[in-house]
Amino acid sequence: MADLVKITINGKELSVPYDTPLIEACKQARVHVPTLCYNENVKAYGVCRICSVEVNDGRRTRIVPACVYTVRSEITVETDTDRIRRYRATLLNLQLARCPDEKVIQDLAAEYGVTEPHPRLRKEDKHCILCGLCVRTCAEVVGVSAIGFEGRGRERKVTPPFDAENPICIACGACAYVCPTQCIEFGEKDGKRYLKRWHREVDMLVCDKCGKYWLPDAVAYVYAKKMGLDPASFTTCPDCR
């Protein structure tokens, strides 16, 4: 059993296993910490910094992102101080300047008193907030790494190689599911599943019993291979089994 470490979060004392991500410790303490780039199912990236909190280890107080900071000693944590609120407001000001029309950004920014980005910040009118959740999910959960980051600074973006259709993409839709701004268009039409942002379109399998399209053939092939099955065995949808 992992060693337990005593910590205090917003005055509430609790014990958590050594190396617990601080954001998970906050959940255990029932303390809400906002985030845009964190998902417990993939490796923490720490890029949005919205989850930053104040941590005092007995020697100094500093601001750390709760998703990548792990508990290894007794600490005191404050998640909603004036300093933290100003820090988050600054970050959300930048996000709102980049993605002024994204509701998830608008709502979170409004919680911190930011309704319009600073006039000196140029509006980019983007939709992707570069959280990297889609990239990490594709690599770590799906296991194909069909997309990645390209460029630097204002030109940075998520894209398949050479911004062209990548045949290793299985069109599973996991990237669209985890995207906090829902900027990855995903749908089905005429027996095809498409992810417009990645220029990807694949055929759907038809259920032998009900005749409905139910699974991208690329998904069937990849997961049949992982499970040691014959792709041809994917003939009926879950409803008809």
Domain ranges of the chain: 4-80, 82-127, 133-233
| Digit-coded pLDDT (tens) for 149-208 | 999 887 899 999 999 999 999 999 999 999 999 999 989 999 999 999 999 999 999 999
**Cβ density class 27-46: b for 16+ within 10 Å, e for less:** eebebebbbbbbbeebebbb
Instruction: Report phi then psi at 178, rounded to 5.
Output: -85, -10
**For residues 48-77, average pLDDT:** 97
Q: For domain 4-80, which CATH number applies: 3.10.20.740, 3.40.50.150, 3.40.50.920, 3.90.1330.10? A: 3.10.20.740
Q: Where are any strands of DSSP class E within the chain?
A: 4-9, 12-17, 20-21, 52-56, 61-65, 70-71, 75-78, 148-150, 157-159, 186-189, 192-195, 200-206, 213-216
**For residues 21-34, average pLDDT:** 97
pLDDT at 117: 83
pLDDT at 1: 53
pLDDT at 177: 94
Q: How many CB atoms lie within 10 A of CB 2?
A: 9
- Please report which confidence band the pLDDT of residue 132 belongs to, taking 50, 70 and 90 as the band edges: very high
pLDDT at 130: 94
pLDDT at 120: 73
Residue 2 has pLDDT above 70, yes or no: no
Amino acid type, 106: Q
Q: Where are any strands of DSSP class E within 66-185?
A: 70-71, 75-78, 148-150, 157-159
pLDDT at 154: 78
- Report the chain's mean pLDDT, rounded to a whole number: 93
Q: For residues 148, 43, 46 and 37, what is the CA-based torsion angle, rounded to 10 degrees?
A: 70
- Please report which confidence band the pLDDT of residue 10 belongs to, taking 50, 70 and 90 as the band edges: very high
pLDDT at 125: 67
